[in-house]
Amino acid sequence: MDGIGLEGHFTIPNLPLMRALIDKLSTLGLPIWLTEVDISSTLDKETQAIYLEEVLREGFSHPSVNGIMLWTALHPYGCYQMCLTNNNFRNLPAGDVFDKLLKEWQTGVEVGQTDEHGACSFYGFLGEYEATVTYQNLLPQITRQEIDNNNKRRGRVPQEGNGPSYDYSAYTECKAVPESPLYNGGIIKGQTPILTHELNVSGSDINVPAFVLYNLTANTMLGNDKKCLFYQERKRAATIHVSDVHGDGLQGAAIEIEQISKDSPFGSAIAKTILGNLPYQSWFVERFNAAVFEDELKWYSTEPEPGKVNYTIPDQMLEFVRANQIVARGHNIFWEDPAYTPSWVRNLTGPELKSAVNSRIQSLMSKYKTEFIHWDVSNELLHFDFYEQRLGPNASLQFFQTVHKSDPLATLFMNEFNVVETCDDANSTVDKYISRLRELKRGGVSMDGIGLESHFSKPNPPFIRAVLDKLATLQLPIWLTELDINNTFDLETQAAYLEAVLREGFSHPSVNGIMLWTALHPYGCYRMCLTDNNLRNLPAGDVVDKLLKEWQTGVIEGHADDHGSYSFNGFLGEYRVNVKYGSRIANSTFSLCRGDETKHFSIQL
């Protein structure tokens, strides 16, 4: 199979969904063609033209789309759905759009002079160019040069006779603030480019933001888009086979199946306020199978003064999660933001700081080896560089290496904000995150997971999906590590946005776990609470309870068919099955893990 064809017969195009699908298909490494693009004739011609422009810009901006074909064959009666011209070849609005884009997507004629080094540079669309060079006795000479995905091509213009030769050069570059309109050279929100730094193309390692963003209606974001979410990766088909001692199937055997635990980690932050609070503990255990300590493991909590290390509180919290078979994330070893670095550490330099960070790693790892399934080694490394500034550019790389040696079984994470939450932060684009992860991997780091903090204001689900799709190409587990919604919204809106994000995360096959940032304090929570201080649900808590119920198989009852078999489709996790046939009873447990084929279990009575 050498290519992927997408017909492209649109009514009202959903650009973020289109982009997310092309991103996902591009992971196959095959060329993608839009093969039959048109817009429904049910729309007026001006609207047709607007939608055509949006689709063409979206397709042309995507690096994996190798070609675009319009479905506009002209007949005496018109065209299939959309015409570019009338029968006298006078442009219709769609034809005006097409001509405009053809002109926009061609470099045209560039005229200039060489600099003091004899070079003349320009930005050009990929393709074949003619260059005419004139200099004193140099005869005009045409050379042909194809510019491909490498950023530079060089050549020589020979002089006639015994004269000198002259170099010429050309390169392509993704500009920081290119000419408007801009597609795939930066990030657009509305019509304003917000990316303010240069992204150079270098060989095949092209660092280009993946998305062109448009304002979406609430209906697109939180309504119609839900129908695109599927949970098949979280479920699996299973068949129970009931037989007697001779292996004969027992038709009509009564079967009761109950899911008793979930495979997908879903949890919340907790704080020391949970210690000794039995109602809060019971409420938490009933809902969650994962936890993260909000502040209690951070360096400023465990060692507020040099040499005075105290793990009493995290030890007690760890005892609680252990007793209830809850997995825990280790958050965090180092926080790159100097505002959250212990004040005494900020005053250290050189050998003193190096000694302090080594002591921090050795202290944590020796005490908690194998206790935490994850460690956030470097927190918010895309935004801050406290340790790199003082210990050199390889400081974080060395942190990861040391932690891995100390606890080889732990999954090591970078943890970052504004990667999936918004497109407004140029420090944390998805491509910057990928680039940093690859940089650490090239340095020999065992990078095992991707942490997305997920502190949302107004979420954009198609953007979330596109970011997750792009990160998923690294084939590392992705966790939403600190999910909440801004408290500037009323509680009902907060809950609606929370549901949109949770559904988006749970539906994505590369999201291995979701953690809410909802540790309960007497004063409330960081930004979002699930309950009040009497553990009565707030709207966000109702959403969580609804989804927990929806994402669990629950109790299933049925009877074996004429072959003694009973089939069902269940969420991944642990199950208990009770079988009764006459006076004979059998009980068993089984697990459903990820897989494409039906899982079979046999019970003998």
Residue numbers annotated as active site: 380, 482
Pairing status of strand 374-379 against strand 334-335: parallel
Q: How far apart are CA 600 and CA 605, in angstroms?
A: 17
Question: What are the residues whose beta carbons fall under 8 Å from the beta carbon of 494, sequence distance 6 or more?
Answer: 485, 486, 487, 528, 539, 540
Read off the amino acid at residue 516. Answer: L
Read off the amino acid at residue 170. Answer: A
Diameter of the chain measured on Cα atoms: 108
80: its two tokens: 């299939």
Q: How far apart are CA 526 and CA 136, in angstroms?
A: 72
Q: How far apart are CA 299 and CA 465, in angstroms?
A: 34
Question: What are the residues whose beta carbons fall under 8 Å from the beta carbon of 331, sequence distance 6 or more?
Answer: 292, 293, 297, 298, 376, 379, 415, 481
Q: Which residue has the tokens 């730094």?
A: 197
Alpha-carbon dihedral 158, 162, 163, 166, rounded to 10 degrees: 30
Q: Which residue has the tokens 């507020």?
A: 304
Q: How far apart are CA 38 and CA 22, in angstroms?
A: 18
587: its two tokens: 């009980």
Q: Is the N-terminal amide bond of 181 cis, ω within 30° of 0?
A: yes
Element (H, E) at 290: strand 290-293
Say if residues 450 and 413 touch (Cβ distance below 8 Å). Answer: yes
Q: Give, in degrees to the nearest 5, the angle at Cα 27 between 26 and 29.
A: 70
Strand partners of residue 142? 132
Q: How far apart are CA 138 and CA 140, in angstroms?
A: 6
Q: How far apart are CA 294 and CA 213, in angstroms?
A: 33
Question: What are the residues whose beta carbons fall under 8 Å from the beta carbon of 48, sequence distance 6 or more?
Answer: 39, 40, 41, 82, 93, 94
316: its two tokens: 């007690």
356: its two tokens: 């302090």
H-assigned helices in 443-593? 461-472, 491-507, 539-550
Read off the amino acid at residue 98. Answer: F
Q: Is the N-terminal amide bond of 332 cis, ω within 30° of 0?
A: yes
Phi, psi (rounded to 5 degrees) for 379: -95, 125
Q: How far apart are CA 406 and CA 372, in angstroms?
A: 13
